């Protein structure tokens, strides 16, 4: 089974703090993603990566950056957290080599509260 | 339109069938997907359908695809309280997916 692991399930951070959300996948997937999920807005793509050291902006990249130094690990960084970044963050991975096309597999989510 | 559209809420009684509908945007999408999200958890892949099929059945789940109308539906037979969750429809989009906003299914005993 594909496993996508997010290191923190629940975080509370102060406004202005730097926040790191870590994600690891164990299936050698090329593609990794960060989404945020807010009530009534569904999933919105923040950043994605097709390969090591490669990143592409998604729909809402402002206020975020990412790092992919190793194939299995994709980090989301909030340089200076703000209250409007309180949300659930979902990491995901996929491979075009798998069954079902580019099926995306999700982690359990990280609930971030910025106070 | 540009969005994958789903109704936001559905309520059924335990034992009834649930039908969750979705309209997608890209007629060239090769695969279409249904995900389930239980409270406080990530999204779990339920099933997918290849675009040259019009139906796929997997135990209590039936997926129907109408390519002409770009309409996808998920039918859950004999709905149980454990099926209460948010269900997301998604279409392949480049190397990513477009997701609907999710349909919250509530199952009443």
**CB spacing of B45 vs A103 below 8 angstroms:** yes
Residue A12's Cβ-count burial label (10 Å; 0-12, 13-18, 19+) is: exposed
* Chain B residue at shortest CA distance from A59: B98
Chain B partners of A45 at a C-beta cutoff of 8 Å? 96
* Chain B residue at shortest CA distance from A109: B42
A46 vs B: CB within 8 A: no
**Which of A43, A109, A38, A19 shows the shortest CA–CA distance to B41?**
A109
Full pLDDT tens readout for chain A, 115 residues: 669 999 999 999 999 999 999 999 999 999 999 999 998 788 999 999 999 999 999 999 999 999 999 999 999 999 999 999 999 999 999 987 666 777 889 999 999 999 9
State in Å, rounded, how far the first CA of chain A is from the last one.
37
Write out residues 76-105 of B within 8 Å (CB-CB) of A. Answer: 88, 90, 92, 95-97, 99-102
Task: Give the Å distances, CA to CA, from B65 to A29, A84, B22, B53.
Answer: 28, 38, 10, 7
Q: Which residues contact B108 (CB under 8 A, 6 or more apart)?
A: B11, B12, B13, B14
The two structure tokens encoding residue A38: 């807010």
């Amino acid at each position: 089974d594909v496993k996508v692991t997010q290191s923190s399930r629940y975080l509370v951070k102060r406004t202005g703090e730097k926040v790191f959300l870590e994600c690891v996948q164990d299936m050698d997937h090329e593609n990794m993603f960060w989404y945020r999920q807010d009530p009534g807005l569904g999933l919105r793509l923040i950043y994605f990566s097709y390969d090591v050291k490669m990143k592409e902006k998604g729909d809402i990249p402002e206020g975020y950056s990412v790092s992919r130094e190793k194939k299995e690990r994709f980090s989301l960084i909030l340089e200076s957290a703000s209250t409007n970044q309180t949300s659930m963050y979902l990491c995901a991975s996929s491979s075009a080599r798998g069954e079902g096309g580019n099926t995306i597999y999700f982690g359990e989510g990280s609930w971030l509260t910025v106070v | 339109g540009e969005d994958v559209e789903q109704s936001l809420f559905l309520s059924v009684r335990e034992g009834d069938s649930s039908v969750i509908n979705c309209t997608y945007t890209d007629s060239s999408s090769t695969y279409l997907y249904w995900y389930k999200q239980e409270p406080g958890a990530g999204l779990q892949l339920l099933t997918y359908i290849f675009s040259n099929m019009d139906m796929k059945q997997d135990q209590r789940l039936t997926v129907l695809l109408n390519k002409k109308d770009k309409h996808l539906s998920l039918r859950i037979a004999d709905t149980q309280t454990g099926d209460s969750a948010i269900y997301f429809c998604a279409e392949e989009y480049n190397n990513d997916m477009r997701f609907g906003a999710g349909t919250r299914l509530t199952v009443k005993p």
